[in-house]
Amino acid sequence: MDTATGTVAALVWMTVLAGGCVPKVSMIIETRTPQGAVIQRGTVTNSDTADHPFTIDAGGSIFVTAAADDSNGLASLYVTGGNSCGRAGQSQQGLFTGTNPNLSGQHPTSSSFTATFPLQCGGGTFTGSMMACASNAKQSQSCTPNATFK
């Protein structure tokens, strides 16, 4: 191990020893048809090392349950992302945003919330991505890899 790599490893280890633990974060994703039938269901966690692809119906919906836990208490939990709908030579951009309404001024050790994102790209080509993030009362943060949608 060279000196620079050893120094970085030591700093990371000292951060962990000094309370650098990060929240455990997960998303349960369900993609559904316009009629509500489940197309695909999966879980993405902050310990995953790669994005997770999901199949969607451009006129359907994405259901997300974001959850986090941390022994230091949670300060925030949210989902965020973006999407694009290409239809008839035009492209429309959109956002996925959702915040846990139960964390305002509180610091529970675990929390979750569910959000529904209707997709309005029928007849078009839809692409998007979303991740969940949480921070604890000591301001350490972690996020899941992206859930990607096509």
Range of the domain at 130: 22-149
Number of compact structural domains in the chain: 1
Alpha carbons 9 and 3: distance in angstroms, whole number? 10
Q: Give the residue-averaged pLDDT of 89-98.
A: 87
Residue 11 lies in a domain: no
Residue 16 lies inside a defined structural domain of this protein: no
Neighbours of 143 (CB within 10 A): 17
Q: Which residues pair with 29 in a beta bridge?
A: 42, 64
Asked whether residue 10 is domain-assigned, the answer is no
| Rounded CA separation 136/150 (Å) | 32
Q: What is the CATH number of the domain that holds 123?
A: 2.60.40
Q: Residue 20 has what pLDDT? A: 56
CA–CA dist 99, 58 (Å, integer) = 24
Q: Can you tell me the mean pLDDT for 121-145?
A: 92
Residue 103 covered by a domain: yes
- Check whether 4 has a pLDDT greater than 50: no
**pLDDT exceeds cutoff 90 at 12:** no
Whether the predicted pLDDT of 63 surpasses 70: yes
